[in-house]
Amino acid sequence: MKLDPQEIEARFRRHAVRVTRQRAAIYAALAETTSHPTAEDLYRTVKRQHPMMSRNTVYYTLGVLRQAGLAQEVNVGHEVARFDGNVAVHHHLVCLGCGQIVDVMDDGLNQLAISSRQARGFHVLGHRVEFHGYCADCQPAGLSAMDRRG
Amino acid sequence: MKLDPQEIEARFRRHAVRVTRQRAAIYAALAETTSHPTAEDLYRTVKRQHPMMSRNTVYYTLGVLRQAGLAQEVNVGHEVARFDGNVAVHHHLVCLGCGQIVDVMDDGLNQLAISSRQARGFHVLGHRVEFHGYCADCQPAGLSAMDRRG
DNA sequence: TGCTATGTAGGAATCATTCCTGTCTAGTGG
DNA sequence: CCACTAGACAGGAATGATTCCTACATAGCA
């Protein structure tokens, strides 16, 4: 879904994030997709319209957006960091074949709790559930292969 | 809990893992702790008794153990990979302050499911739940700091 | 419009992990 | 008990995502 520049600026101001062309481009690229891109993906995307864009700016901006609560880092296994413009509480479904990550919005999952005996004195603030399996396209391969990922 | 060398050898043979001193030492170090050590932690631990041990052997062995189903990789956020000798299905509780990881064994969590509408054609094989918060020691700091980790 | 704190570009540095290569050895068959 | 060979080990080099550094540019404000 295409995101209105006005709306981007409004969100930035609401979260006290200084508005620059680079930032707007990076945030737009992130917020307009549900594919959980890597920093490199975003760099390549925004570079098309901003040839001077540096990788550093992408990393720096992702840090700013994250701290402002406009983006989230998603980590699956020990792979490259991926980013998510969806900052609502949600969970993920990961394909062990192609690596795609799909958002799962489910109130039941959001309300999971841990027994106080298990909590061992922790003050629990939240949780995250990651389902893994094979997507429709990867299923034939996935069912034969006994491949497991960490 | 100290692990009998006989028992280690038995597990290796049962999982078709060749028995070597280095491997036994690495596996012992991993299986005798619940602290989810990093490769570097394990390296330092085993190096005390095996000064010739190379970092490479630790990484290689962890790969072997993982494929054999004797160890698991645990990833929290985008930090260094950590390893777990507990291969039963279980979940984790992570301290945002000190980074400690505590095992959570809970049948309810093991049985979580996703609705088929949410599954989007995926063949789901498993899932993993990660709770995050502040441990007893980190709570005073944690409650004041608004620090969040990805 | 000018000031200043902050952002940006680009290159260098870091560091966990992997790759490479030349020994070495566990496990097996004679 | 000995020799063979596939697989394991040590150590150093290479990789690659991310961070650091620094000089220049610009957003936001008075």
pLDDT tens by residue, A84-141 = 999 999 999 999 999 999 999 999 999 999 988 889 999 999 999 999 999 999 986 5
Domain count of the fold of chain A:
2
Whether B150 is in a domain gets the answer no
pLDDT of residue B143: 53
Tokens 């996703």 belong to B114
Instruction: Please say if the pLDDT value at position A147 is more than 60.
Output: no
Of A43, A74, A105, the last residue of a domain is: A74
> Residue B63 CB closer than 7 angstroms to strand C?
yes
Interface of A with B in 55-74 (CB under 8 A): 66, 72-74
pLDDT tens by residue, A45-55 = 999 999 999 99
Identify which of A32, A31, A103, A19 has the alpha carbon closest to the alpha carbon of residue A64. A19
Residues A70 and A92 in one domain: no
Identify which of B132, B91, B101 has the alpha carbon closest to the alpha carbon of residue B34. B101
The reply to whether B28 touches chain A by the CB within 8 Å rule is no
A122·B104 Cβ contact <8 A: no
In eight-state DSSP terms, residue B136 is G
How many residues comprise chain A? 150
The neighbouring-strand residues paired with A114 are: none
Torsion over CA of A69, A72, B78 and A25, rounded to 10 degrees? -100
Residues B36 and B14 in one domain: yes
Residues B104 and B65 in one domain: no
**Which residues are in reach of strand D, CB within 7 A?**
A 12, 18-21, 38-40, 55-56, 59, 63, 80-81; B 17-18, 20, 22-23, 50, 52-57, 60-61, 64, 78
CB atoms within 10 A of CB A100: 14
Residues A93 and A48 in one domain: no
Whether B80 is in a domain gets the answer no
Residues B99 and B128 in one domain: yes
Phi-psi region of B106 (alpha: psi -120 to 50; beta: other; left: phi over 0): beta
In eight-state DSSP terms, residue A11 is H
What backbone torsions phi and psi does residue A72 show, to the nearest 5 degrees? Answer: -135, 145
Range of the domain at B61: 5-74
pLDDT of residue B124: 95
pLDDT of residue A93: 96
Instruction: Please say if the pLDDT value at position A57 is more than 50.
Output: yes
Residues B56 and B30 in one domain: yes
Q: Note the CA–C1' distance, A66 to D22, in angstroms.
A: 25
Type of residue numbered A28:
A
Residues B36 and B61 in one domain: yes
Around A126, how many Cα atoms within 13 Å sit in the side-chain half-sphere? 11
Q: What is the pLDDT along chain B (150 residues), one digit of tens a residue?
A: 789 999 999 999 999 999 999 999 999 999 999 999 999 999 999 999 999 999 999 999 999 999 999 999 999 988 999 999 999 999 999 999 999 999 999 999 999 999 888 899 999 999 999 999 999 999 865 554 444 333
pLDDT of residue A143: 53
pLDDT of residue A1: 77
Residues A70 and A97 in one domain: no
pLDDT of residue A73: 96
CA-CA distance, A61 to A63, in Å (whole number)?
A: 5
Interface of B with A in 114-143 (CB under 8 A): 114-115, 118-136, 139, 142-143
Q: In CATH, what number is assigned to the domain containing residue B29? A: 1.10.10.10
Contact in structure between A91 and B128 (CB atoms under 8 Å)? no
pLDDT of residue B65: 98
pLDDT of residue A149: 38
Q: Provide, as residue numbers in chain A, all residues whose Cβ is less than 8 Å from the Cβ of B75.
A: 75-78, 150
Of B74, B101, B131, the last residue of a domain is: B74
Mean pLDDT of chain A: 91
What angle is formed at CA A76 by the lines to CA A28 and CA A35, rounded to 5 degrees?
A: 30
Whether B43 is in a domain gets the answer yes
Of A31, A46, A74, the last residue of a domain is: A74
Token pair of A73 as six digits: 């880092």
Whether B82 is in a domain gets the answer no
H runs (alpha helix) in chain A: 5-14, 21-31, 39-49, 55-68, 107-110, 116-119, 139-144
Helix axis angle, A39-49 to A21-31, nearest 10°: 120
Residues A104 and A132 in one domain: yes
Q: In CATH, what number is assigned to the domain containing residue B108? A: 3.30.1490.190
Whether A131 is in a domain gets the answer yes
- In DSSP notation, B57-123 reads HHHHHHHHHHHHTS-EEE--TTS--EEES--SS-EEEEETTT--EEEE--HHHHT----HHHHTT-E
Contact in structure between A69 and A114 (CB atoms under 8 Å)? no
Residues B70 and B36 in one domain: yes
Residues B69 and B117 in one domain: no
Residues A29 and A60 in one domain: yes
Instruction: Please say if the pLDDT value at position A144 is more than 70.
Output: no
Give the confidence band of A43 by pLDDT, cuts at 50, 70, 90: very high
> Residue B40 CB closer than 7 angstroms to strand C?
yes
pLDDT of residue B149: 38
CA-CA distance, B3 to A116, in Å (whole number)?
A: 30
Q: Provide, as residue numbers in chain B, all residues whose Cβ is less than 8 Å from the Cβ of A127.
A: 129-132
